[in-house]
């Protein structure tokens, strides 16, 4: 089965501090894409960062970076200098190919609260 596991249902961090959200996944594919999506309360889901599995270099987007460990099938998200606007649900996801079909599979999400 192709699955995504986010082991931290909820996390909190103080403003300006750093927080790391965990994600592990399971796939037999050799090439795939991994994503972190952010869903603020009552707002649209938006892409935070994306990693191509064949690239060894970890992706970064401003304050957001990932630690991609392909052998361990781990894809954690680090948020530096946390801001109040970072409060949201964060979903880890990756693409899977099943029976010739290609889909995005999501984890259960981590609810992040940034405290002032």
Partner 1 sequence: EADIYQTPRYLVIGTGKKITLECSQTMGHDKMYWYQQDPGMELHLIHYSYGVNSTEKGDLSSESTVSRIRTEHFPLTLESARPSHTSQYLCASSEIKGQGVKRAFFGQGTRLTVV
| Residues forming the site for partner 1 (CB under 8 A) | 31-33, 35, 37, 43-47, 50, 52, 89, 91, 95, 101-109, 111
Residues across the chain: 116
CA trace torsion 20, 46, 84, 12 (10° rounding): -30
Q: Which is nearer to partner 1, 68 or 91 (CB)?
A: 91
Least Å from the CB of residue 84 to partner 1: 19
Q: What is the C-alpha to C-alpha distance for residues 104 and 93, in angstroms, rounded to an integer?
A: 6
Q: Which is nearer to partner 1, 18 or 106 (CB)?
A: 106
């Amino acid at each position: 089965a192709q699955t995504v596991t986010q082991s931290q249902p909820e996390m909190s961090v103080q403003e300006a501090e750093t927080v790391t959200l965990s994600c592990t996944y399971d796939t037999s594919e050799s090439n795939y894409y991994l994503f972190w999506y952010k869903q603020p309360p009552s707002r649209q889901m938006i892409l935070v960062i994306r990693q191509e599995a064949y690239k060894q270099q970890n992706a970064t987007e401003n304050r957001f970076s990932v630690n991609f460990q392909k052998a361990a099938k781990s894809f954690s998200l680090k948020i530096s200098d946390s801001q109040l606007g970072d409060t949201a649900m964060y979903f880890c996801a990756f693409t899977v190919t099943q029976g010739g079909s290609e889909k995005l599979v999501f984890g259960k999400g981590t609810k992040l609260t940034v405290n002032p």
